[in-house]
Amino acid sequence: MRLLVFASRNWKEIVRDPLNLAFGFGFPLVLLLLLTAMQKNIPASLFRIEELAPGMAIFNLAFISLFSGMLIAKDRSTSFLMRLFTSPLSASDFILGYTLPLLPIAVMQCVIFFAAAFFLGLAVNVTVLVALAVVLIPVAVLFIGIGLMAGSVFTDKQVSAICGAGLTNACAWLSGIWFAPGLVGGWFEAIAYALPFVYAVNAARAAIAGDYASIFPQLWWVIGYAVVIMTAAILVFWKWMGSDHM
Amino acid sequence: MTEIRIAGLTKRYGEKTAVNNLNLTIQKGELFALLGVNGAGKTTTIKMLSCLIAPTSGDAVLLGDSIVSACSAVKEKINVSPQETAVAPNLTVMENLEMIAGIYGSDRKAAGIKAAGMLSAFCLDEVACSKAKTLSGGMQRRLSIAMALISEPEILFLDEPTLGLDVLARRELWNAIGKLKGKVTIILTTHYLEEAQALSDRLGIMAKGELKAVGTVPELVSRAGAQTFEDAFVALATDQGVNV
């Protein structure tokens, strides 16, 4: 009951913030529309919807880190968390309360995004949607973990810069959404393949293509990153809760 | 009846001692003010008593439960209104109150009833459906204190409740706090002399992490041999006074 009350509050805080709605829901849709329109006017296959939509879906989910990180950092900076730390809420209530509301938000982002992609010509069926869900859930957990950790360590201004600019740009450029990292090669390609984003995009593209055998070799990287980052985020939050610096 | 018994409470951060060997008892229903300049150790004391930070040594027993060994039990009986306004900005006033009631175990119906009672008690009815972030500073503080009271705590900590408020908002809040006297045991921190004087049954003067003197305002003025409370505060806080 306590957990649900706290989770409900966090849900309301996120979905009632117009900036969250603009960046998390509107911005990726505008990009999808623009790039699809661009594709219609150029002879080369640069932004085919089958390649673009799964990549953009991963980019879309990167904003989850911004949502969760900003919420936690603001709660810390305004003493709201200090108030709640004197309440009977347990450490697990806090962690689940900040995590659970983000999963339905991630689902909403994906549903709205793929509905738009469908109207722009993306062919999907039930099997593809199930495969996409299998791919996108660990990706969402990965971004939730990054947000939880950022919110526990940084101020809201720092989270805005790190998750809002740094993470989304890293996800956009180092994931192969617009171009394969191999086209640049060298250190750029090495960094891209050391991070989880390119594997997430590859797994999502395999799901859309119905190439289910190719999903898990890519997705294991994402799951591994998600487990490590989420575990580290929980430990960091726990440590901060028990610290003398609140 | 003794509600709070503090014995040798100490908090050190490395070489710095924030609170040193605090000894104090507070009676049931008493409004006790901790008065001191910034950095005196008031907020650190509140944080230890509300189980936010652990003492380096010493202990405090609140209604029979130790802040060192029974934090969960202590948290069920207390509530805190922090120094900075601590409200959920995108929730309405009503939702903020219902949320805190729910976190302290009320079901949805009971939370609604309690929230309605708090809206009325703190004159927040007209803004019940407004988002907390749209309220004035004074109203946000009133909401913050109402949120601390909705759990019906036996002990309430008010950390600098009127900090940064204008004169009118401060007076409104004093009235609201004054109405609680005798019903809830309150520990209030402040660096406004007139606030401690107007609200408290007894007060303790803190300086450099130490409790320099405890008593009623007339007792402290008399003990310091001063003409005014301000003179008494200066004398006691700067070690020109006498023993606790």
Looking at residue B197, the DSSP 8-state letter turns out to be: H
Alpha helices in chain B (DSSP H): 42-49, 71-77, 93-103, 108-121, 137-149, 167-178, 193-199, 217-224, 229-237
Taking an 8 Å cut-off on Cβ atoms, the answer to whether A80 and B102 are in contact is no
Overall average pLDDT of the B197-226 stretch: 95
Q: What is the pLDDT of residue A122?
A: 92
C-alpha distance across the termini of chain A, in Å: 26
Overall average pLDDT of the B9-34 stretch: 96
Taking an 8 Å cut-off on Cβ atoms, the answer to whether B107 and A1 are in contact is yes
Q: What is the CA radius of gyration of chain A?
A: 18
Q: Is A241 at the interface with chain B, CB within 8 A?
A: no
Global pTM value: 0.90
Interface test with B, best of A4, A87, A243 (most B CBs within 10 A): A87
Q: Is B94 at the interface with chain A, CB within 8 A?
A: no
| ipTM for the whole complex | 0.89
- Residues of chain A positioned with their CB less than 8 A from the CB of B107: 1
Q: Within 10 Å of residue B129's Cβ, how many Cβ atoms?
A: 10
Q: What is the pLDDT of residue A32?
A: 92
Taking an 8 Å cut-off on Cβ atoms, the answer to whether B89 and A13 are in contact is yes
At A137, is the secondary structure helix, strand, or coil?
helix
At B18, is the secondary structure helix, strand, or coil?
strand
Comparing C-alpha atoms, which of A222, A183, A230 is closest to residue A199?
A: A222
Place of tokens 């009503």: B94
At B200, list the tokens: 């408290």
Taking an 8 Å cut-off on Cβ atoms, the answer to whether B105 and A244 are in contact is no
Question: Does B242 or B97 have the greater pLDDT score?
Answer: B97
C-alpha distance across the termini of chain B, in Å: 21
Taking an 8 Å cut-off on Cβ atoms, the answer to whether A80 and B81 are in contact is no
Place of tokens 């980019």: A59
CA neighbours closer than 13 Å in the CB half-sphere of residue B172:
18
Overall average pLDDT of the B20-33 stretch: 96
Element (H, E) at A147: helix A126-153
Instruction: Point out the residue among A1, A12, A17 whose CB comes nearest to the CB of B102.
Output: A1
Residue B34 phi, psi (nearest 5): -100, 115
Q: Within 10 Å of residue A37's Cβ, how many Cβ atoms?
A: 11
CA angle B151, B153, B154 (to 5 degrees): 160
- Residues of chain B positioned with their CB less than 8 A from the CB of A3: none
Element (H, E) at B78: strand B78-81
Comparing C-alpha atoms, which of B208, B169, B220 is closest to residue B33?
A: B220
Place of tokens 């891209």: A192
Task: Kindly tell me if the per-residue pLDDT of B242 is higher than 60.
Answer: no
Q: Taking CA atoms, what residue in B is nearest to A91?
A: B72
Nearest CA-CA distance, residue A111 and chain B, Å: 25
Q: What is the CA radius of gyration of chain B?
A: 18
C-alpha B157/C-alpha B134 separation (Å) is 25
Edge-to-edge strand list for the sheet holding B16-27: B16-27, B2-13, B57-62, B65-66
Q: Is A43 at the interface with chain B, CB within 8 A?
A: no
Domain range summary for chain A, segments of one domain joined by +: 2-241
Per DSSP bridges, beta strands B78-81 and B155-159 are: parallel
Sign for the CA dihedral angle at A245, B5, B6, B8 comes to negative
C-alpha B64/C-alpha A77 separation (Å) is 33
C-alpha A186/C-alpha B64 separation (Å) is 67
Taking an 8 Å cut-off on Cβ atoms, the answer to whether A5 and B86 are in contact is no
Amino acid letter, A246? M
Looking at residue B92, the DSSP 8-state letter turns out to be: B
At B185, list the tokens: 């045991």
At B211, list the tokens: 């409790």
C-alpha A11/C-alpha B91 separation (Å) is 10
C-alpha A104/C-alpha A110 separation (Å) is 10
Task: Kindly tell me if the per-residue pLDDT of B244 is higher than 60.
Answer: no
Nearest CA-CA distance, residue A216 and chain B, Å: 40
Burial of residue A31 (CB within 10 Å: 0-12, 13-18, 19+) is middle
Q: pLDDT of chain A along its 246 residues, tens only?
A: 899 999 999 999 999 999 889 988 999 999 999 999 998 888 888 888 999 999 999 999 999 999 999 999 999 988 899 999 999 999 999 999 999 999 999 999 999 999 999 999 999 889 889 999 999 999 999 999 999 999 999 999 999 999 989 999 999 999 999 899 999 999 999 999 999 999 999 999 999 999 999 999 999 999 999 999 999 999 999 988 888 755
C-alpha A160/C-alpha A70 separation (Å) is 7
B181-211: pLDDT as tens digits? 889 999 999 999 999 999 999 999 999 999 9
Per DSSP bridges, beta strands B202-207 and B185-190 are: unpaired
At B127, list the tokens: 């803004």
Of the listed ranges A147-151, B84-88, B89-93, B147-151, the least confidently predicted one is B84-88
Contact residues, A window 3-22, toward B, CB-based 8 Å cutoff: 5-6, 8-9, 12-13, 16-17
Strands (E), chain A: none
Edge-to-edge strand list for the sheet holding B210-215: B78-81, B155-159, B185-190, B31-35, B202-207, B210-215
Nearest CA-CA distance, residue A188 and chain B, Å: 41
Taking an 8 Å cut-off on Cβ atoms, the answer to whether A1 and B105 are in contact is yes
Task: Kindly tell me if the per-residue pLDDT of B243 is higher than 60.
Answer: no
Q: Within 10 Å of residue A50's Cβ, how many Cβ atoms?
A: 14
